[in-house]
Amino acid sequence: MGNFSQLVYLVPLFPLIGFLINGLLWKRMPKNLGGIIGTLAILCSFAVSLGIFFEVKDPAFHGPVIVHLFDFIQSGKLIIPFAFQVDALSALFLLIITGVGFLIHVYSTSYMHHDEGMVKYFAYLNLFVFSMLLLVLGANYLIMFIGWEGVGLCSYLLIGFWFKNRDYTNAAKKAFVMNRIGDLGFLVGMLLILLTFGTLSYQDFFGQLHGSQTIVPTSTYNWIALCLFIGATGKSAQIPLYTWLPDAMAGPTPVSALIHAATMVTAGIYMIARSGALYSLAPMILHVVAIIGLATAILAATIAIKQYDIKKVLAYSTVSQLGFMFLALGVGAYTTAVFHVMTHAFFKALLFLGSGSVIHAMGGEQDIRKMGGLGKYMRITQATFLIGCLAISGIPGFSGFFSKDAILTDAFAHDPILYYLGIGAAMMTAFYMFRLYFLTFNGSFRGTEDQRHHLHESPYAMTIPLMILAVLSIVGGYVGIPEVLGGHNLFNTYLSNVVTNFGEHHLSESTEWILMTVSVVAAVIMIVVAYVVNKKPDFAENKGFAKLLENKWYVDEIYDAIIIRPMEGLSNLLDKFAEKKGIDGVVNGVGKTVRWGGDRLRLLQSGQVGFYIFIMVLGIVVLFTLSFFWIR
Amino acid sequence: MILLLLILIPLITGAMSFAVKGEGAKALALISSILTLAVSAYVSAANFSAPITYNHEWIPVLGTQFSLLADGMSSMLCLLTGIVVMVVMIAGVNKSVENPGAFYGFLLLSQAGLMGVFLASDALVFYMFWELALIPVYFLCSTWGGEKRIAVTFKFFIYTFVGSLMMLAGLIYLSTQSQGMSSYSWSDIVRAGSSLPPQTQQWVFWLMFIAFAIKMPIFPFHTWQPDTYEQSPTPVTIILSALMVKMGLYAVLRWLLPVVPAGVAYWSDTVVVLSVIGIVYASCIAIVQTDMKRLIAYSSIAHMGLMSAVAFSHSSVGMHGIMVQMFNHGITITGMWLMVSMVENRWGTRDMTKLGGMASVAPNMAIALVIISLASIALPLTNGFIGEFMLFNGLFSGTESNHVTVMVVAGLGVILGAVYTLNMIQKTAYGATAKMLITKDISVNEFVGVAIIIILIIFLGVYPKPLLDLTSGIAAMIVK
């Protein structure tokens, strides 16, 4: 095998160059050329990533390769290098990011073609890929943090891409601030690691974890793990910091596919899988992770059932699927979580790009109440979208089946209650995805006559990525066939050198068969229910519980009432009273006194020279007298 | 001798400037500032081997010598002063002021004072330059300021004057406590102060500290600052916020921490708590400001609060972080004010409720504003991040009690900072285009000034090593 891992710096370098070219020359750059440059940059990265992947996959590859670029921060004994780490985990993420990223870039060249800001768009997109690559390549937490905040910035810039719309820029701001709340957790966790272990490098840190279990109290592990997890809830949209993600749909649809479904939002899963050695020492926090993940999976799924915006349904579905991944992490099945990251990247990117194709055909319309019967007009979009729906619902033969089944099995082994609740969320998933599918592609068209004339299949630049992703959404799961189906889980073997699962349980073969059958039957039933319910859709105003779901459990309103408004009130109070009346009042009072004193003293300065001379003589006499006695 | 040049160039050209009529003053000031920057760059580069000193007889009767010293910290601050003043002069090229000779004369005199403050290693010399730096600012503010300039200058004057007097009293007291003859040299002051009984150090601490706290400013000694920033002409605001606040912090590190260590140990918890309150307090107030200048003023109080908290946390990484952050804060806030003055020039107002649409009509300005704002909220790979990370590290590993709580409360500033900074971007750059006086994107000289700032922001954010190396020795020395 070639020595690709030493060239790993090229992987983020290409998108950085693409960003710089498009970012600096955005005024003069022709739109098409900007798109080509941006897309080529990712293609080059993908090529290098492939080389790295095959090198790492080779059994002859031993341990992680650290590529040291330069010393980033150095102060006394504290040295934090700017270094990359190549191992099975980072190589896998490289492939997902650059591979899916490339397809989405290709798609964007067509989707964004009419937008005047196309060059700027590609500059941002390349900057995003660069940051995401830093995030997964860093050999220490600080480099991960650089990428972590970098992707947050790009997300902010792309959500608010159409900056003239105040709602969009509000959504961008909300995403950034909510991420920052999580980032503070990350920062504190990072500092705790630094304080306790004196290093941020993965190798040193995990090395010490194996050696020093007796010296460091468990509570320290718990605190570190909890702080990092807070960071993950922000980036990966988990309770309580998930509300920014649905709003993030304000950005262009390919951005939703790349950033808000396939890559950035999985950063939290990457972080915890990467820190698996730490979390295995903090079982209490693993319980928290599992509970938060499961709760998010269920909550988001209930909301998705009653949404009418095609992208909002997918957004809540993403939140819910991320919840599943955290459930897997929480039961110690880190590799399973990463497996679901991969399959989810394929089918969710597919679904989002498919929805983009639909929105494109509908002339910007996103309300599924005004769609229906689109299958006749756009066969490729319909077929690929269906594959995505089957994959996410966990129908056997599609990638989602393998990863979701693995999560549910691991959950059962950990605690059957987690499994039952998980099945509930999975059933809702099948229902709302097929509700979306039937309302969009089946039945008769419910939009305007103008829209009907406009309906068309999207150009090849958009449909080819759809087809490739559809193929991946099917075959992507076959790398992780469970042993009960006579397979050999290549995926777990591949990651086993880097990520060690915590407390693996083994279920009997018959139990696994039963669990699998139950989840498949449940999904199929829900698809049928979705078909029946939506055969003659009725969009009467929602009442009671349905209205509660349509309004997202009023969580945004609750946050507004208990956090945002009190915060504003406090700020105003501090400004008007503490600052202006309080502190400044006292100061001005002192000032007035001084002025008053000054006015009195001024009377002495009458301007009469005689008076001054008198005072001067008096002073000299006094000084003379004093010094006379002093010398004595 | 080279150190003397740092003071003499601005002092002499400043004095000359008063005699120059018309636009020539701008050219003189620009040339002078470039020369000074070149010298300070040379001093910083030479500093990697050993500190540079200069001594001359001055007033032996009082026990004072005209002695200067440039170690890592001093030369870093002189370099910052050089850069910031030059950027101010570059940005001023196409702005017209009344009576430019006097205006630029005062600015240069103030620069001479600043250089002296950062270089002095004798307490009386230090005090003299401290006043020399401030007095021109009173004139600049009261003559070229906004509508409320007289009242505001008065407040500023009272604040700083009270502080200066207390500091002078403290220094005189310390000089009399030295062994043998009274002496103002830094090493004698340190020896005298640190050998005082702890109870005495505890009150001497306050004599000195009040002056520095006002200058930084630390909550609750800060209310002169938003008013003064708001009412001053932008070049003066830059000098005040990028450089003069550093006088306060520098003085704490040089003339307080080593001088009365027992007093510092006794009061440091109090100061840390005040500083951290200041971070949250100022950040909250920044959120509800509508005037860009006031918003940035309060954000600066929050940033300085973090630095002052760390200054009293006794951590060497933290101290190193302060060095780095003093420089970076100066660079970033200079960029911020340049943007504000451009906005004021185009839209005729700083009121954010009347602004909007910069990204549509002046996209280059908007890009610059976003980059500088990101540095201000310490996004990684901008200069702000390095310092902030090291500061939090210092606060976290500090010696004061409850350091975790302190760190987390201070960390709220990270979140609140994002809130008010993004608010500012949204209201000025995004949305519909508000009515403008002049529709014009960035002009050539503005571009040069902003480009210098942005290059520094990115370069020091990616590769902070030069700055870290320059100041590494001194940080370890202050925290023994």
* A279-337 residue pLDDT tens: 999 999 999 999 999 999 999 999 999 999 999 999 999 999 999 999 999 999 999 99
Distance, CA of A254 to chain centre: 15
Mean of per-residue pLDDT scores for chain A: 89
Check residue B348 and give left, alpha or beta (phi > 0: left; psi -120 to 50: alpha): left
Q: What is the 3-state secondary structure (H, E, C) of A433-445?
A: HHHHHHHHHCCCC
- A429 plus A569 within the same structural domain: no
* In a domain? residue B38: no
Q: Which residue has the higher pLDDT, A209 or A83?
A: A83
Share of chain B above pLDDT 90, in %: 55
Q: Name the minimum distance, in Å, from the CA of B12 to any CA of chain A.
A: 35
How many other C-beta atoms are found inside a 10 Å radius of the C-beta of residue B411?
A: 23
Question: Residue A231: which pLDDT band, with cuts at 50, 70 and 90?
Answer: very high
Residue B239: per-residue pLDDT? 93
Rounded to an integer, the average pLDDT of B361-388 is: 93
Q: Which residues of A touch B357 (CB under 8 A)?
A: 164
The domain of A622 spans 560-631
CB contact under 8 A, B380 and A149: yes
- A89 plus A192 within the same structural domain: no
Residue A139: per-residue pLDDT? 94
Measured in residues, chain B has a length of 480
Query: Do residues A252 and A323 make contact, with C-beta atoms less than 8 angstroms apart?
Result: no
Q: Name the minimum distance, in Å, from the CA of B155 to any CA of chain A.
A: 7
Spatial distance between the Cα atoms of A192 and A465, rounded to a whole number of angstroms: 44
* In a domain? residue B450: yes
Rounded to an integer, the average pLDDT of B238-258 is: 93
Question: Residue B395: which pLDDT band, with cuts at 50, 70 and 90?
Answer: confident
Check residue A300 and give left, alpha or beta (phi > 0: left; psi -120 to 50: alpha): alpha
- A522 plus A570 within the same structural domain: no
Give the three-class secondary structure for A229: helix
Give the nearest chain B residue to A167 (CA atoms). B431
Residue A629: per-residue pLDDT? 64
Per the omega criterion (within 30 degrees of 0), is the bond before B217 cis?
yes
Query: Do residues A31 and A135 make contact, with C-beta atoms less than 8 angstroms apart?
Result: no
Residue among A75, A177, A587 minimizing CB distance to B468: A75
Token readout for A176 is 């950034």
Token readout for B401 is 């009690």
- A527 plus A589 within the same structural domain: no
Give the three-class secondary structure for A48: helix
- A176 plus A58 within the same structural domain: no
Residue B199 burial (CB < 10 Å; 0-12/13-18/19+)?
A: exposed
* In a domain? residue B112: no
Spatial distance between the Cα atoms of B2 and B53, rounded to a whole number of angstroms: 9
Residue A632: per-residue pLDDT? 46
Q: Which residue has the higher pLDDT, B12 or B48?
A: B12
Name the DSSP letter for residue B70.
E
* In a domain? residue A83: yes
Question: Residue B296: which pLDDT band, with cuts at 50, 70 and 90?
Answer: very high
Residue B429: per-residue pLDDT? 92
* In a domain? residue A96: yes
- Residue ranges of alpha helices (H) inside B348-443 are 358-361, 363-376, 383-396, 403-429
* In a domain? residue B360: yes
Query: Do residues B364 and B441 make contact, with C-beta atoms less than 8 angstroms apart?
Result: yes
Query: Do residues A320 and A301 make contact, with C-beta atoms less than 8 angstroms apart?
Result: yes
Q: Name the minimum distance, in Å, from the CA of A109 to any CA of chain B.
A: 23
* In a domain? residue A153: no
Q: What percent of chain B is helix, strand and coil (3-state, nearest 5)?
A: 75, 5, 20
- A38 plus A88 within the same structural domain: yes
A71 touches chain B (CB under 8 A): yes
Whether A628 shows a pLDDT value over 70: the answer reads no
Handedness of CA B284, B208, B263, B67 (dihedral sign): positive
Residue A63: per-residue pLDDT? 78
* B440-468 residue pLDDT tens: 888 888 999 999 999 999 999 999 999 99
B381 touches chain A (CB under 8 A): yes
Residue A549: per-residue pLDDT? 86
Residue A213: per-residue pLDDT? 54
Check residue A77 and give left, alpha or beta (phi > 0: left; psi -120 to 50: alpha): alpha
Domain tally for chain A? 4
Residue among B396, B415, B465 minimizing CB distance to A71: B465
Spatial distance between the Cα atoms of A41 and B308, rounded to a whole number of angstroms: 45
* In a domain? residue A276: yes
Rounded to an integer, the average pLDDT of B72-78 is: 92
Residue A580: per-residue pLDDT? 81
Instruction: Please compute, for residue A171, the number of CA atoms within 13 A of its CA located in the half-sphere on the CB side.
Output: 21
- A240 plus A369 within the same structural domain: no
* In a domain? residue B469: yes
* In a domain? residue B235: no
- A398 plus A517 within the same structural domain: yes
* B203-228 residue pLDDT tens: 899 999 999 999 888 888 888 889 89
* In a domain? residue A175: yes
Token readout for A534 is 């939506």
Residue among A75, A180, A192 minimizing CB distance to B390: A75
Q: Which of A392-401, A482-491, B245-254 has the lowest mean pLDDT?
A: A482-491
Q: Which of A538-552, B362-376, B408-422 has the lowest mean pLDDT?
A: A538-552
Question: Residue B46: which pLDDT band, with cuts at 50, 70 and 90?
Answer: confident
Give which of A328, A330, A332 is closest to A501, Cα–Cα.
Answer: A332
Rounded to an integer, the average pLDDT of A189-198 is: 89
Query: Do residues A300 and A326 make contact, with C-beta atoms less than 8 angstroms apart?
Result: no
How many other C-beta atoms are found inside a 10 Å radius of the C-beta of residue B96?
A: 8
Give the three-class secondary structure for B183: coil
Domain tally for chain B? 1
Q: Which residues of A touch B476 (CB under 8 A)?
A: 76
Spatial distance between the Cα atoms of B359 and B345, rounded to a whole number of angstroms: 16
Query: Do residues A440 and A372 make contact, with C-beta atoms less than 8 angstroms apart?
Result: yes
Mean of per-residue pLDDT scores for chain B: 90
Token readout for A13 is 């370098």
Q: Name the minimum distance, in Å, from the CA of A595 to any CA of chain B.
A: 10
Query: Do residues B437 and B348 make contact, with C-beta atoms less than 8 angstroms apart?
Result: yes
Query: Do residues A326 and A296 make contact, with C-beta atoms less than 8 angstroms apart?
Result: yes
Give which of B162, B305, B318, B294 is closest to B245, Cα–Cα.
Answer: B305
* In a domain? residue B381: yes
Query: Do residues B414 and A184 make contact, with C-beta atoms less than 8 angstroms apart?
Result: yes
Q: Which of A483-487, B23-27, B89-93 has the lowest mean pLDDT?
A: A483-487
For chain A, count helices (H), then strands (E): 27, 2
Give which of A433, A237, A444 is closest to A352, Cα–Cα.
Answer: A433
* In a domain? residue A553: no
Residue A590: per-residue pLDDT? 75
Q: Name the minimum distance, in Å, from the CA of A518 to any CA of chain B.
A: 45
The one-letter code for the residue type at A467 is: M
Q: Which residues of B touch A146 (CB under 8 A)?
A: 380-381, 385
Handedness of CA B51, B54, B59, B60 (dihedral sign): positive
Per the omega criterion (within 30 degrees of 0), is the bond before B220 cis?
yes
Spatial distance between the Cα atoms of A443 and A434, rounded to a whole number of angstroms: 13
Give which of A233, A242, A246, A354 is closest to A288, Cα–Cα.
Answer: A233
Q: Name the minimum distance, in Å, from the CA of A445 to any CA of chain B.
A: 35
What's the pTM value of the predicted model, to 2 decimals? 0.92
Question: Residue A144: which pLDDT band, with cuts at 50, 70 and 90?
Answer: very high
Q: Which residues of B touch A191 (CB under 8 A)?
A: 392-393, 396, 407
Token readout for B19 is 């005699």
- A418 plus A510 within the same structural domain: yes
B473 touches chain A (CB under 8 A): no
A149 touches chain B (CB under 8 A): yes
Residue among B392, B464, B476 minimizing CB distance to A187: B392
Spatial distance between the Cα atoms of B117 and B309, rounded to a whole number of angstroms: 22
Spatial distance between the Cα atoms of B455 and B450, rounded to a whole number of angstroms: 9
* A562-585 residue pLDDT tens: 888 888 888 888 888 888 888 878
For chain B, count helices (H), then strands (E): 20, 2
Letter string b/e over residues A298-323, b meaning 16 or more CB atoms within 10 A of that residue's CB? bbbbbbbbbbbbbbbbbbbbbbbbbb
Q: Which residues of A touch B380 (CB under 8 A)?
A: 145-146, 149-150
Distance, CA of B258 to chain centre: 21
Residue B400: per-residue pLDDT? 57
B150 touches chain A (CB under 8 A): no
* B141-199 residue pLDDT tens: 989 988 888 888 888 888 888 889 999 999 888 888 877 777 888 888 888 888 889 99
Q: Which residues of B touch A195 (CB under 8 A)?
A: 396-397
Question: Residue A594: which pLDDT band, with cuts at 50, 70 and 90?
Answer: confident
Letter string b/e over residues A130-155, b meaning 16 or more CB atoms within 10 A of that residue's CB? bbbbbbbbbbbbbbbbbbbbbbbbbb
Query: Do residues A204 and A234 make contact, with C-beta atoms less than 8 angstroms apart?
Result: no
Q: Which of A581-590, B6-15, B191-200 has the lowest mean pLDDT?
A: A581-590
Q: What percent of chain A is helix, strand and coil (3-state, nearest 5)?
A: 75, 5, 20
Check residue B63 and give left, alpha or beta (phi > 0: left; psi -120 to 50: alpha): left
Residues 393-452 of A with CB under 8 A from B: none
Cα dihedral value A460, A462, A464, A465, nearest 10 = 160
Give the nearest chain B residue to A593 (CA atoms). B158
Q: Which of residues A249, A281, A313 is at a domain's end?
A: A281
- Rg over CA atoms, chain B: 21
Angle, helices B316-347/B444-462, rounded to nearest 10 degrees: 160
How many other C-beta atoms are found inside a 10 Å radius of the C-beta of residue B264?
A: 21
Residue B176: per-residue pLDDT? 85
Q: Name the minimum distance, in Å, from the CA of A301 to any CA of chain B.
A: 29
B287 touches chain A (CB under 8 A): yes
Give the nearest chain A residue to B159 (CA atoms). A587
- A524 plus A473 within the same structural domain: yes
- A568 plus A426 within the same structural domain: no
Give which of B120, B123, B89 is closest to B107, Cα–Cα.
Answer: B89
Distance, CA of A615 to chain centre: 78
* Contacting residues for B367 by C-beta, under 8 A, at least 6 apart: none
DSSP per-residue string spanning B41-66: HHHHHHTTTS-EEEEEEEEGGGTEEE
* In a domain? residue B335: yes
Residue A505: per-residue pLDDT? 72
The one-letter code for the residue type at A446 is: R
Whether B399 shows a pLDDT value over 50: the answer reads yes
The domain of B391 spans 267-480
* In a domain? residue A370: yes
Q: Name the minimum distance, in Å, from the CA of B177 to any CA of chain A.
A: 22
Q: Which residues of A touch B472 (CB under 8 A)?
A: 74-76
Query: Do residues B5 and B111 make contact, with C-beta atoms less than 8 angstroms apart?
Result: no
Residue among B284, B475, B476 minimizing CB distance to A571: B284
Give the three-class secondary structure for B220: coil
* In a domain? residue A219: yes
Residue A606: per-residue pLDDT? 67
- Please provide residue A73's backbone torsions phi and psi, each rounded to the nearest 5 degrees: -120, 130
The one-letter code for the residue type at A285 is: I
